[in-house]
Amino acid sequence: MYLCILGCAARIQHTVTCIRGSMPRVLPMRRSLLLSTLTWWGILQESYGQVLRQLIRRTTLDYNVPRLYAHVVVDNQQICAQVDTGSPELTVIWKDWYEHVTRPGSCTTLQMGCYTCPKGCDSKPTIKITYGFKEVSVFPWQGSVQLGDTVVGKLGFGVIKGQKPPPPSRNAANILGLSPDASKLPSVLTQLYGQSKVSSPTFALYLSRPSAGSFESSGELLLGGGDDTLYVKPLRFVRFSKPADLLIDTGTNFVLVPSKYIDSLLSSIQAEASKTAGRTVKFTFAPASKVYLFDCADAAFLPTITFALGAVGEVQLTMDHAAYYHNLMNQCYCISI
């Protein structure tokens, strides 16, 4: 049986899976759930030069939603930034602004952390950036940033001084963007490459497989290249018949499926899960969040899914149930429209 999802054929083998959007590159996996993302202006090479290794972790922080985070040191201040391949810039929460719109001292309880300019800020220049359903106003700044074991003496970033809608209507967040230049702020990778901190304007990231029943996992963000011990050679790529801008977005927390395929995919998942469980496994649609919920006790019965990517399914990507369902405060969901 074949499903066409955004131009990719998904073959259900004994099981099925949920996929979020299109994937421009598909990498083999060994011992870990590996996602290696290449920027549009470079190809990951077999021989790697200088690579900055930054620890990352998928966990919940202030808002009880699992996200991908990196602990970064900015001007000797520890912050936790959400790793986002959908945006290019590094942006940090300004302590003065955040405590003004929330309450005095609120930064002390914000696990992401807030930033203070060491010698005071000049917040007059304003750049507006859109993140999903919110617009933030930042002023450009420059400081010392530590990524992994490497300290970059001068790295440009944005300091958040406004947001529409403001917290708590929309949560504020520190963002470590990895996409190519697309705003008035230079991208992190462009700056690292321009300062010869990395030998290539590319990056890769990987996560270890989470333990049963857990959404938490750890891994690394590799800036400037990759690590050929983390995948089985050779790399295999999927050709697209038409030129297109494609995005892998680690800032999104859902597995998204086009509405025209949702019924078929969900029916296949339900049928295989029910067969394994020996009873009916039910899924319920939640209109507010547009996700499908199920009893967490049934998570172990969810099937493994193999996606056959490419015109004839020549590149296969396999995901087990731990990779596509989430348990949020004992409420489990797997796919979204």
Domain membership flag for residue 323: yes
> In the listed set 208, 242, 277, which residue is the last one of a domain according to the structure?
208
- The pLDDT assigned to 39 comes to 34
Residue 162 shares a structural domain with residue 305: no
Residue 171 shares a structural domain with residue 269: no
Give the residue from 141, 81, 91 showing the smallest Cα distance to 111.
Answer: 81
161 bridge partner residues: none
Please tell me the distance from the alpha carbon of residue 283 to that of residue 313, in angstroms, as a whole number: 29
**Range(s) of the domain holding residue 297:** 1-16+263-337
Residue 182 shares a structural domain with residue 108: yes
Q: Residues 94, 136: contact at Cβ < 8 Å?
A: no
Residue 56 shares a structural domain with residue 199: yes
Torsion of CA 54, 59, 63, 68, to 10 degrees: 40
Residue 197 shares a structural domain with residue 319: no
Domain membership flag for residue 225: no
Residue 91 shares a structural domain with residue 149: yes
Domain membership flag for residue 81: yes
- Report, in this order, helix, strand and coil percent for the chain, each rounded to 5: 15, 35, 50
Domain membership flag for residue 215: no
* The pLDDT of residue 28 is above 70: no
Please tell me the distance from the alpha carbon of residue 190 to that of residue 225, in angstroms, as a whole number: 14
Residue 4 shares a structural domain with residue 92: no
Residue 192 shares a structural domain with residue 293: no
- The pLDDT assigned to 161 comes to 97
Pick the residue with more confidence: 102 or 319?
Answer: 102
Q: Name the 3-class secondary structure at 285.
A: strand
Q: How confident is the model at residue 253 (pLDDT cuts 50, 70, 90)?
A: low
Residue 200 shares a structural domain with residue 111: yes
Domain membership flag for residue 71: yes
Q: How confident is the model at residue 24 (pLDDT cuts 50, 70, 90)?
A: very low
Q: Residues 236, 310: contact at Cβ < 8 Å?
A: no
Residue 116 shares a structural domain with residue 161: yes
Give the residue from 283, 333, 272, 12 showing the smallest Cα distance to 4.
Answer: 12
Please tell me the distance from the alpha carbon of residue 259 to that of residue 242, in angstroms, as a whole number: 22
Domain membership flag for residue 123: yes
Q: How many domains does the chain have?
A: 2
Instruction: Read off the pLDDT of each residue in 281-304 and give the average, rounded to a whole number.
Output: 91
- Beta-strand pair 67-74/127-131: unpaired
Residue 87 shares a structural domain with residue 157: yes
Rounded to whole angstroms, the maximal C-alpha distance in the chain is: 65
Q: Residues 270, 40: contact at Cβ < 8 Å?
A: no
Domain containing residue 174: CATH number = 2.40.70.10
pLDDT, tens digit (0-9, with 9 covering 90-100), for 167-220 = 999 999 999 999 887 668 889 999 999 999 998 989 999 988 777 667 788 999
Residue 176 shares a structural domain with residue 49: yes
